[in-house]
Amino acid sequence: MSSLVVETPGLLTTVQDLGRVGYGAIGVSPSGAADPVALQIGNRLVGNAPGAAALEMTLAGGTFAFPEGGVISLAGANFGGQLDGRELAPWRAHAVMPGKRLTLGATRDFARCYLCVAGGIQVEAFLGSASTHLLSGLGGWQGRALRKGDVLPVGEVKERIRQKKMAAGVLDALRPRKTLRVTRGPQSGWFGEEIRKRLLEEEFRVSEEANRMGLRLEGPLLAAREKKEMISEGAPLGAIQVTPSGQTILLFVEQQTTGGYPKIANVISADLHSVGQLRPRDTVRFEEVSFEQARALWIEQQRLLESEERLFA
Amino acid sequence: MKFQAASDQSLLVYVGEEIGAAAHERVLRLLLALQREPAAWIRNVQPAYCSLLVSFDAAVVDHAEVQARITEYEKRAEKLPAVKARLVEIPVCYGGEFGPDVEALAAKSGLSPAKVIALHCTRTYHAYFLGFAPGFAYLGDVAQEIAMPRLETPRTEVPAGSVGIAGRQTAVYPFATPGGWRLIGRTPLEIFKKDREPMGWIAIGDQVRFRPISHEEFAWRSRG
């Protein structure tokens, strides 16, 4: 088995796959890649199954060595990856000779960059997934963010890897959006027309408190008109919760599974990967769509991600 | 039963309108029915006090279809035998460094710290659901005298095993995490352990009791 050596980890680098879904009854949220679209494409580029485990880097990447060599791809945000000083194009596979070193810097555009390695990062699965759950220290590589000196096992590659080129228009179609589409939340009726309009017409700014659990947004206050006590209930991924003081919190992949704040709206599934690419101080807007539209957009996105013919030229 | 679309891939199913044993019995039955006959289109079920959030695969079903199918599950759930609760005991070393908020609870209620602890450990609690973090069970109901809202500013780190109160709920923190509950003691038990079956010490529907233990017992149990 070959390996990947962490020489410097970057700001926050974790092992992620598509997450563990279905353990809500024991309080476990799915976790998984913040940008599952980039993860899946990055994996396909190196011949992996789309949901193979890879490294998710946040805002700034690290330095990684490959003692036995390998084939890698960088997908998602552009962290200016270089292989022994030579700039690496993102969204394509690169052969790495034994002993070479991959260096990444600060982001040039979005929040998260995925380093996919042919054969996948091999870690012990927890509840069927390799994803790191930082809050509880479970899953991934020892349940934590990577540190200097970690040596991660990489799976064997059996078949020759065919070089693939992204098809024209695909990356534009999947490009992270700054206007997130939402459907009405289960308590949207608590807010009244005026407040709902404010959500859809004004601009919000991602605060410094933005991580895999959730993103606190700065912007107009959206306090609910109805001041009744809410009974805690399950909260979906992408829910936009409003605190009693009117502040807005977007629940994300490592979210708490239940919540007691009213939910005014919910980011649609097809735009969740865009949430994963939001940086602190980025501005976002919201646009309402119907449940039917949201479903159609999701199905279309899934079809595209499942089709090698459409993804690659 | 009432239904409310929560997101494009989830539906909230309300089986009651207030926190209590009756609504929760219906939550447990429906959960059991869903677990007995798992369907491929169901991605996750998140139970709570009087609702279940059913997440589904929108490529296969839509809200209307999920609603119809959950209604079928509910009919089968009604026929299930009464849910038998398990009794779980949690040893707790109360007060001192483990319970920094006992004094505040005492001051607020006009009771002695010993009485606050006695009120907490003489009740049997119902595990309504798990949330916040893996294995974190929301237990109720705490005696009215010692019910107290969360801290205005949560602690950045609450040690694993800490026992806290928030409103009329009590819970044990399975991991060292940030947290705003009022801390009154600590258990030496590992509340959530990945190499154990089951992983969580407390499951939804359990009856839970707290047993006061000494510092000595806490110390030797922690070593064990």
List pLDDT tens digits, range A52-61.
999 999 999 9
What is the predicted pLDDT for the residue at A14?
Answer: 98
Q: Are residues A158 and A33 in the same domain?
A: yes
Chain A positions touching B192 (Cβ under 8 A) are 136
Provide the residue range defining the domain that includes A43.
Answer: 2-164
What is the domain-level CATH number for residue A277? Answer: 2.40.100.10
Partners of residue B202 in chain A, C-beta under 8 Å = none
Q: Would A174 be classed as within a structural domain?
A: no
Beta-sheet pairing, A13-16 with B169-172 = unpaired
Q: Give residue A203's pLDDT.
A: 97
**The domain boundary residue, chosen from A113, A132, A164:** A164
* Percent of chain A at pLDDT exceeding 70: 100
Q: What is the dihedral of CA A236, A241, A243, A245, to 10 degrees?
A: 180
pLDDT at residue B224 in the model: 63
The domains found in chain B, sorted by start residue, are: 2-79 (3.30.1360.40), 87-223 (2.40.100.10)
C-alpha distances in angstroms, B155 versus A102, A216, B138, B150? 39, 18, 19, 10
Q: How confident is the model at residue A202 (pLDDT cuts 50, 70, 90)?
A: very high
Flag if B130 and A27 touch (Cβ within 8 Å): yes
Q: Is residue A287 part of a domain?
A: yes
pLDDT tens-digit series, residues B102-134? 999 999 999 999 999 999 999 999 999 998 889
| Chain A residues near residue B47 by CB distance under 8 angstroms | 24-25, 234
Flag whether A239 is in a domain. yes
Distance between CA A246 and CA A285 in Å, rounded? 17
Percentage of chain A with pLDDT > 90?
A: 91
**Do residues A151 and A197 both lie within one domain?**
no
* Cα separation, A127 vs A29, whole angstroms: 11
Assigned domain for A169 exists = no
State the Cα–Cα distance between residues B182 and B189, nearest whole angstrom.
19
Q: Is the peptide bond before B141 cis (omega within 30 degrees of 0)?
A: yes
Residue of A nearest to B202 (CA): A26
A80, A147: one domain: yes
Residues A159 and A37 in one domain: yes
- Helices then strands, counting H and E runs in chain B, come out as 5, 13
Domain end residue (candidates: A104, A139, A164): A164
One domain for residues A131 and A183: no
**Same structural domain for residues A270 and A297?**
yes
For residue B158, is pLDDT > 90? yes
Structure tokens at B102: 């006992």
What is the least distance, in Å, from the CA of B202 to any CA of chain A? 9
Tell me the pLDDT band of B150, cut-offs 50, 70 and 90. confident
Nearest to B131 among A137, A257, A268 (CB): A257
Q: Are residues A200 and A230 in the same domain?
A: yes
Do A115 and A199 share a domain, yes or no? no
Does residue A137 sit within a domain? yes
Total domains in chain A come to: 2
Give pLDDT, residue A161.
84
Measure the CA dihedral A291/A296/A299/A304, to 10°: -140
Contact A264, A195 (CB under 8 A): yes
Whether A305 contacts A312, CB under 8 Å: no
Question: Mean pLDDT, to the nearest integer, of B131-149?
Answer: 93
Q: A291 to chain B: which residues are within 8 Å by CB? A: 5, 8, 62-63
End-to-end CA distance of chain B: 47
Average per-residue pLDDT for chain B: 95
Within-domain flag for A205: yes
Average pLDDT over residues B139-154: 91
**Do residues A118 and A192 both lie within one domain?**
no
Identify which of A26, A269, A295 has the shortest CB distance to residue B200.
Answer: A26
**Residue where a domain terminates, one of A164, A188, A214:** A164
C-beta separation of A74 from A62 below 8 A:
no
Q: Does B209 touch chain A (CB under 8 A)?
A: no
Comparing alpha-carbon positions, the chain A residue that sits nearest to B5 is A186
Please report which confidence band the pLDDT of residue A62 belongs to, taking 50, 70 and 90 as the band edges: very high
Q: Between chains, do A269 and B9 touch, taking CB under 8 Å as contact?
A: yes
Instruction: Flag whether A173 is in a domain.
Output: no
Residue A195 host element (H or E): helix A192-201
Lookup: tokens for A260:
């007691």
A111 lies in the same domain as A255: no
Interface ipTM above 0.85: yes
Q: Do A183 and B10 touch (CB under 8 A)?
A: no
Co-location of A256 and A287 in the same domain: yes
For the stretch B70-79, contacts whose Cβ atoms lie closer than 8 Å and that sit 24 or more positions apart, written own/partner, are B70/B1, B70/B3, B70/B11, B70/B13, B70/B30, B71/B1, B73/B30, B73/B33, B73/B34, B73/B37, B74/B1, B74/B15, B74/B30, B74/B33, B76/B33, B76/B37, B77/B26, B77/B29, B77/B30, B77/B32, B77/B33, B78/B29
- If one compares B81 and B44, the residue with the highest pLDDT of the two is B44
pLDDT, one tens digit per residue, over A253-276 is 999 899 889 999 999 999 999 999
The string of pLDDT tens digits covering residues A76-94 is 999 999 999 999 999 999 9
In a domain, A313, yes or no: no
Q: Is the same domain home to A156 and A194?
A: no
pLDDT of residue B81: 85
Residue A190 confidence (pLDDT): 93
For residue B40, pLDDT over 70 is answered with: yes
Q: Is the pLDDT confidence value at A1 over 90?
A: no
Residue A227 has pLDDT above 80, yes or no: no
Q: Find the mean pLDDT for residues A281-285.
A: 98
